[in-house]
């Protein structure tokens, strides 16, 4: 599993925008930026839709006021699902990033196998990344939802 002080692995993520499908590299996502990235097991799932993403939407301005350049939400879903989910949650301040084949999640060592529910998915976590280096990592244990919450990340900035 990735640890504080390590660089985010070189893997691309995708985003669907009004200009079409965008493939984003680490350089584009992290170079010269302070970023809060949080990951969820699945778009449109109960905790993710009722609490995790909405809290980041609500606190986005406060998080950015702490010097954060961007907030990213990552899930092992395709870019079409991530765009629809972001639109349904009014997540204009958050970049909704798809890790369709779980390559990013696996490179971080934060994958989990949910078997028949959805296969390989991401663990629930949040991280603070400064210029590509993880400076804060908050991984949930089991089905907990405490350390990856927007309020907790805001306190750590």
Q: Which residues are identified as catalytic?
A: 48
Side-chain-side CA neighbours of 14 within 13 Å: the count stands at: 18
In total, the chain counts a number of residues equal to 157
Map the chain to HEC letters. CCCCCCECCCCCEEEEECCEEEEECHHHHHCCCEEEEEEECCCCCHHHHHHHHHHHHHHHHHHHCCCCCEEEEEECCCHHHHHHHHHHCCCCCEEEEECCCCHHHHHHCCEEECHHHCCEEECCEEEEEECCEEEEEEECCCCCCCCCCHHHHHHHC
Per the structure block, which two tokens stand in for 57?
A: 């939407």
């Amino acid at each position: 599993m990735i640890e504080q002080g390590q660089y985010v692995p070189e893997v691309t993520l995708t985003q669907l925008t009004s200009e079409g499908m965008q493939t984003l590299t680490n350089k584009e996502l992290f170079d010269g930026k302070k970023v809060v990235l949080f990951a969820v097991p699945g778009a449109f799932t109960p905790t993710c839709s009722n609490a995790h993403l909405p809290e980041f939407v609500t606190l986005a301005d406060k998080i950015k006021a702490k010097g954060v350049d961007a907030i990213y939400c990552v899930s092992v879903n395709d870019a079409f699902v991530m765009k629809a989910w972001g639109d349904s949650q009014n997540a204009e301040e958050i970049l909704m990033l798809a890790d369709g084949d779980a390559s990013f999640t696996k490179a971080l060592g934060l994958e989990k196998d949910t078997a028949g529910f959805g296969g390989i998915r991401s663990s629930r976590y949040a991280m603070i990344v400064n210029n590509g280096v993880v400076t804060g990592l908050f991984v949930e244990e089991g089905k907990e939802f405490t350390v990856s919450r927007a309020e907790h990340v805001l306190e750590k900035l």
